[in-house]
Structure 1
Amino acid sequence: MHIAWLGKKSPFCGNVTYSREITNALLDRGYKVSFLHFSEESDESSPENYVAEVNLPFLYKSQIYTIPAPKSTKILLRSLQKLQPDIVHASLTLSPLDFRLPEICQQLKIPLVATFHPPFDSMWRNIKSSTQYLTYQLYAPSLAKYNQTIVFSELQKDLLIKLGVPASKLAIIPNGVDTEKYSPNQSYFKKKYPQHQLYVYQGRIAVEKNVESLLKAWKYAEMGTNAKLFIIGDGHLTPTLKPLYNQEDGVIWLGAIVDDEKRIDILRSCDVFVLPSLVEGLSLSLLEAMACGLGCVATDAGADGEVLAHAGIVLSTQEVTTQLKTILPLLAHHPEMAGLLGKKARNRVLEKYTLRDNVTKLEQLYKELCSQKVYF
């Protein structure tokens, strides 16, 4: 089977990780994969063994959304005509091109699958989540035209059904992680802080990630000299927050780390992972930390509360700072809690959120659509 994958390679974000991990797993299972993504012609080709890699021109690209160049639609159409894949899978990049894909694939009679990533707060409890709700409202009519749309949880599925997407066109396939790659093990990074209790946040430094609430709580809790908080990631709020919370407070900014081995080594060195997001889909960063055996604290935004239920500490998206002011000192004074929660988190991932199971379910979906010759 030949899969044409439309996704992202940059800038680094959860969609990039998702596209890389899934396409590599499909290649490992013997599938042919072509990768189509928004990129400049001068971008270096990646080492993956794709049938083809197609660069789609763009006017603007960020972690959140992409504005394609006017000619990108024609290039996509011509590329699919030439490649003649059995199926197209779009890891949606929040781009106007997303709305043209059903028409293009209908014209070419190719089944079309989407993965819908936009974060949400299941209770719509804050202004930011209301903005995300508008994204769901905007996309729902178009998603109804896709053959199948992959979502990560029952909550996300129910929301799209309420907005008019037929239940028969929605498939729940949760994110998954490679549990051999992401696993508890010795850490070289830990040798720098042998006697410290280490906490970590990994993700974009953006409003919806609510990192400032974590930093405020950390500073207020006065965690002491033996506790460190690492911030992995970058974003538009970094220049604002970094000068206010620094090494004097035990906060160490590591920036975006693209090298997986280095990033995993840092995760393995830590005791506690904290994700204070206001909105989420299903956080790969959370799953990675859980798989590495960290004690995890996260809000119930998106599907994260469902993932962490009975396997970590789940916060409300309201008054995150207040909750963390209590929880951070508690974890500091009872370090054995992090170890216990880490074991529960690892077992939870092994039970339900492995990359192996994710790809197996995806295979079944592809085969069903192709065997039925269902297009539109």
Structure 2
Amino acid sequence: MAPSAADGARALRVAFLGQAVGRRADGLTSYSEQVVSGLLRRGEEVYFHHARGDGSQVPVDPRHAVAWPTLRFKTVTIPLPGFRTRMQGWLAAHRPDVTHCSLSFTLDDGWVGAAAERVGSARVVTFHLPFGQVGTGRALVMRELHRFWARRLSRYQRVIVFTEEHRHRLAEVGVELGRIEVLPNAVDTDRFCPGPSRVRAERLAGSSLVVGFAGRLDPEKGVRELLTGFERARLGPSARLLLAGRGALEGKVRQLAERDPRVVYLGQLGHLRDRVDFWRAVDLFCLPSSAEGLSISLLEAMASGCAVAVTPAGGLPVVAGGGLELDPSRLADAVAEQLQETSPGRARELGARAREEAVRHHGIDRMLDRLLAIYGSCINEQDHPGERTPS
């Protein structure tokens, strides 16, 4: 285990460039919240930088939060003029031991790595972009995005990804293999656990099987196929489809919820307590995604005791035999078939198995140990140029 302030070592000063909750609430905001909250519990000192347009819910004392004015176009965040001068000034004034960027913070993430190097800060970046299913148009687009960012990551000492496959994909577009660390997403299994749910009691009382989805309501998440599959499945009037999130298909989700009383749409889950309550209400989490890194929603669902139905791209290997596989070549039909074949009793059995897998392999403490070891390795290299320390 890497030394931390909780062990009596000096607290690390960490500048974490991440995503706040408010106008957005997605996997990146969950990652920022989990990592920063975990570092604070370990006694580290964290300054949280975020785009002002993301929202105002931050995982640190507001005095340690820095909100940057930006413009956002779809999924791209653009810093306003003057960002580089002010960021360089902040880094020079605070001199963090580690600068950790959750990509993409803004289009200037590559420049931030160089700016942090100039003040002697160790540099770590987490690369969230998925790579897509081989042979699809989306995979080609994602490969070009990987190539775009690979050229901009050269000043970061470590690039964190979530799977070995992602590590090799990133190396193929030019990132040095030895700088890429596989550090899977994690979940607080004490916080996300089975228990009573207000949503289940108030809005889903008497339901037989509750199928759930929380995340971006976008085409690559398989939302259309989920809606179609649920409608095709012969589940009876007491089944429910519970959805939460925002995205391009929000209008379609709202229309179906208005037309079919079995479909319940909650909007965006802006608070941690709402996510905990959501997953406790769900029997079966369905993620028919065509492109994922390692879904935090998947891990939260598993830790909460939900059965999971996922594509290979959506995270099936993570469930280690405890999940239901969705065939990506016929998603809507695959969703319908798996829903029809999963009784409430079967869902409970698979959910207990998924919970065991999450506790055993995806707990937040293990991830924090590794992350602090990576920080320590980078700091040592910064202090002793030319010396590579295993992390």
Q: TM-score, normalised by structure 2?
A: 0.89
Match of 1:224 in 2: 236
Distance of 2:62 and 2:385 partners within structure 1? 25
Instruction: Give the residue type in structure 1 aligned to 2:241.
Output: L
What per-residue deviation string (whole Å, max 9, x for no partner) do you get for residues 85-133 of structure 1? 0110001126321121232123222211000001222x42422232222
- Please tell me whether residue 2 in structure 1 is matched to residue 13 in structure 2: yes
Aligned to 1:117: 128
**Quick one: structure 1 residues 146 and 325, their matched pair in 2 at CA, closer, same or farther if it must change by over 3 Å?**
same
SS of the equivalent of 1:96 reads coil
> Could you tell me which residue of structure 2 aligns to residue 18 of structure 1?
31
- Cα distance change of structure 1 residues 44 and 279 upon mapping to structure 2, 3 Å threshold: closer
In the alignment of these two chains, the number of paired residues is: 370
Which amino acid letter does the alignment assign opposite residue 43 of structure 2? G
Q: Which residue of 2 aligns with 1:341?
A: 350
User: Offset at 1:50?
Assistant: 6.7
Q: Distance in 1 between matches of 2:250 and 2:376?
A: 44
Structure-1 residue corresponding to 2:48: 35
Letter in 1 for 2:67: N
Indicate the residue corresponding to 1:293 in structure 2.
Answer: 305
Q: 1:48 to 1:106 in 2, by over 3 A?
A: closer
Match of 1:369 in 2: 378
* Residues 36 and 59, structure 2, Cα contact 8 Å, conserved in 1: no
Tell me the CA shift for residue 281 of structure 1.
0.9
2:110/2:155 contact within 8 Å kept: no
Displacement of 1:260: 2.0
- Structure 1 distance, partners of 2:44, 2:292, is 31
Please give the residue correspondences for 1:195-344 in structure 2 after superposition, counting only pairs within 5 Å.
195-196=206-207, 197-244=209-256, 246=258, 248=260, 250-301=262-313, 304-331=315-342, 334-344=343-353
Q: Hey, what's the Cα distance between the residues in 2 that align with 1:305 and 1:47?
A: 30
Is 2:155 the counterpart of 1:145? yes
Give, as a single letter, the amino acid of the residue that structure 1 aligns with 2:365.
R
Aligned mate of 1:69, from 80, 89, 94:
80
The corresponding residue for 2:9 is none
Q: 1:47/1:308 Cα in 2 relative to 1: closer, same or farther (>3 Å)?
A: closer
What secondary structure does 2:321 align onto? coil
Q: Which aligned segments of 4 or more residues in structure 1 are displaced greater than 3 angstroms?
A: 43-47, 244-247
Partner of 1:87: 98
Q: Secondary structure at the match of 1:12?
A: coil
Task: Give the whole-Å Cα distance in 2 for the aligned partners of 1:23 and 1:120.
Answer: 26
Is contact 1:32–1:51 with CA below 8 Å preserved after alignment?
A: no
Q: Is the partner of 2:255 in helix, strand or coil?
A: coil
Write the distance in 1 (CA, Å) between the matches of 2:62 and 2:219. Answer: 36
Q: Once the two structures are superposed, what CA deviation does each residue of 1:17-41 show, in whole Å capped at 9, x if it has no partner?
A: 1111111111111111111111169
Alpha-carbon separation, structure 2, partners of 1:53 and 1:259: 18
When residues 47 and 354 of structure 1 are mapped into structure 2, their CA distance, relative to the original with a 3 A threshold, is closer
Distance verdict in 2 for CA 1:262–1:60, change over 3 Å: closer
CA distance in 2 between counterparts of 1:110 and 1:59 reads 27
For normalisation by structure 1, the TM-score amounts to 0.92
Of 225-234 and 2-11, the range deviating more from structure 2: 2-11
Q: RMSD across aligned C-alpha pairs, in angstroms?
A: 2.1
**2:370 partner amino acid:** K
Paired AA for residue 320 in structure 1: L
Rounded to whole Å, the distance in 1 between the matches of 2:385 and 2:102 is 18
Aligned to 1:102: 113
Report the identity percentage: 28
Residues 219 and 249, structure 1, Cα contact 8 Å, conserved in 2:
no
Q: Distance in 2 between matches of 1:317 and 1:166?
A: 31
Secondary structure at the counterpart of residue 85 of structure 2: helix
- Report the alpha carbon displacement of residue 337 of structure 1 after superposing the two structures with TM: 1.3
Is the 8 Å Cα contact of residues 177 and 284 (structure 1) preserved in structure 2?
A: yes
Between 233-242 and 85-94, the greater mean CA deviation after superposition: 233-242
